[in-house]
Amino acid sequence: MVTARDFRPGLRVVLVEPRHEGNVGSVARVMKNFGFSRLCLVNPCPLGGQARAMALHARDILQGARRHRTLEAALRGAPLAVGATAKGSPGDGFLRGPRMTPRELAAHLKKRRPRETALVLGREDFGLRTEEMARMDLIVTIPTTRAYPSLNLSHAAAILLHELSAVPWEPRSPPAAPQSLQAYLDDWEQTMADIGYFPHRRQRARIMLRRLLARAGPTRLELSMLRGQLRQTRNAAQRGRR
């Protein structure tokens, strides 16, 4: 008999606008295979008999899935969002990189031991949109052959969850809360404005900084120190103008 102790609570799987109910059921089944139970669905297709049939003994995960109207709502409360993608081009590298393989992602998370992570998979036909990718803290790509790189949604989920099942999901030290990270980024952006950093570069720089922080996984104390440095920088800039 499967109990709550058999599941790893630290990871939520987020499916963005899945279009085939069988895929949703298959992902639920794969989640149960590897010990994950938290499924979030953003504007999913109707789920009926096919979804239940593909879920098989994971119907409890399918029935317990949380539905959200927006990706932001599905990510609420997760300090770390990992976007899965098979796409990328030199022109949008700041949005899509750097990218990790599933094994590299697992190794990174083993060191960080996050309390809460969202693994985000996009639509079956074209994945995540550019603005959705910009919301991701880390990017993971499954290595495939160039001749046929496309993977079924549940197959991709199986590969990712197999690697992530080895991650210990208990934090070593209290991580900075998502709202604290957001406040730091707001402070950073205001500081950049105060010192005259190029306005047209701030948006890209903010995305890159957020991803750098996501990889580093700062604690509350570390983030507090960084915010203190920003305050000193702003004060020095104001004294210089006077």
**Stretch 33-50: mean pLDDT, rounded?**
96
* Per-residue model confidence (pLDDT) at position 172: 53
Question: How big is the chain, counted in residues?
Answer: 242
Give whole-number Cα distances, 41 to 7, 67, 86, 227, in Å. Answer: 19, 5, 20, 35
* Alpha-carbon gap, residue 216 to 120, rounded angstroms: 20
DSSP assignment letter at 90: G
Do 199 and 190 form a contact (C-beta atoms < 8 A)? no
* Per-residue model confidence (pLDDT) at position 4: 42
Q: pLDDT band for position 234 (50/70/90)?
A: confident
* Per-residue model confidence (pLDDT) at position 32: 96
Q: pLDDT band for position 157 (50/70/90)?
A: very high
Give whole-number Cα distances, 119 to 11, 103, 193, 210, in Å. Answer: 7, 14, 33, 17
* Alpha-carbon gap, residue 165 to 35, rounded angstroms: 7
Give whole-number Cα distances, 84 to 88, 203, 230, 241, in Å. Answer: 11, 22, 33, 45
Query: Would you say residue 77 has pLDDT above 60?
Result: yes
* Per-residue model confidence (pLDDT) at position 5: 44
Average pLDDT of every residue of the chain: 87
* Per-residue model confidence (pLDDT) at position 12: 95
Query: Would you say residue 155 has pLDDT above 60?
Result: yes
* Per-residue model confidence (pLDDT) at position 231: 86
* Angle, alpha carbons 52-76-48 (nearest 5°): 15
Q: pLDDT band for position 123 (50/70/90)?
A: very high
